[in-house]
Amino acid sequence: MSTENTHSGAVIGYGRTSTADQHAGLDDQIAELKAAGCTRIFSEQVSSVDAARPQLQAALQFLRDGDEFVCTKPDRLARSTTELLRIVEELTQRGVRVRLLSMNIDTNSATGKLLLTLMGAVASFEREIMLERQRAGIAKAKAEGKFKGRAPTARAKAAEVHRLVAAGCKPAEIMKLTNISRASFYRIAKA
Do 87 and 35 belong to one domain?
yes
Q: Do 106 and 55 share a structural domain?
A: yes
Query: Are residue 113 and residue 25 in the same domain, yes or no?
Result: yes
Report how far residue 65's alpha carbon sits from residue 95's, in angstroms, rounded to the nearest whole number. Answer: 4
pLDDT tens, position by position, 152-168: 677 788 888 888 888 99
Q: What pLDDT, on a 0 to 100 scale, did the predictor assign at position 145?
A: 85
SS3 category, 69: strand
Q: What is the tally of structural domains in the chain?
A: 2
- State the Cα–Cα distance between residues 97 and 11, nearest whole angstrom: 9
Q: Are residues 83 and 159 in the same domain?
A: no
The number of helices, as runs of H, and strands, as runs of E, in the chain is 8, 5
- Which positions are annotated as active-site residues? 18
Q: What is the CATH number of the domain that holds 112?
A: 3.40.50.1390
Q: How many residues does the chain have?
A: 191
- Same domain assignment for residues 110 and 172: no
Residues 96 and 170 both lie in one domain: no
Q: For 72-125, how does the pLDDT look when each residue is reduced to its tens digit (9 = 90+)?
A: 988 888 877 778 888 998 999 999 999 999 888 898 888 888 887 787 677 668
φ, ψ for residue 61, nearest 5 deg: -75, -30
Share of the chain above pLDDT 70, in %: 88
Both 19 and 98 in one domain: the answer is: yes
One domain for residues 29 and 111: yes
Q: Which residues contact 99 (CB under 8 A, 6 or more apart)?
A: 36, 68, 69, 70, 71, 105, 106, 107
CA distances from 155 to 3, 167, 184 (A): 61, 19, 8
Question: Are residues 112 and 158 located together in one domain of the fold?
Answer: no
Same domain, residue pair 167 and 109: no
Beta carbons of 63 and 14 less than 8 angstroms apart: no
Q: Are residues 109 and 158 in the same domain?
A: no
Is 51 a member of any domain? yes
Alpha carbon distance 187, 91 (integer Å): 43
Last residue of a domain, one of 120, 145, 177: 120
- Residue 140 in domain: no
Host domain of residue 178: 154-190
The confidence score (pLDDT) of residue 3 equals 38
- Can you tell me the distance from the alpha carbon of 84 to that of 90, in angstroms, rounded to the nearest whole number? 10
Q: Where are the beta strands (DSSP E) in the chain?
A: 11-17, 40-45, 68-71, 97-100, 105-106
The pTM score is 0.60
Backbone dihedral angles phi then psi of residue 65, each to the nearest 5 degrees: -50, 130
Query: Model confidence over 37-58: pLDDT tens digits?
Result: 999 999 998 876 656 889 999 9
Helices (H), 17-109: 23-35, 54-62, 74-77, 81-93
Cα(15)–Cα(76) distance, integer angstroms? 7
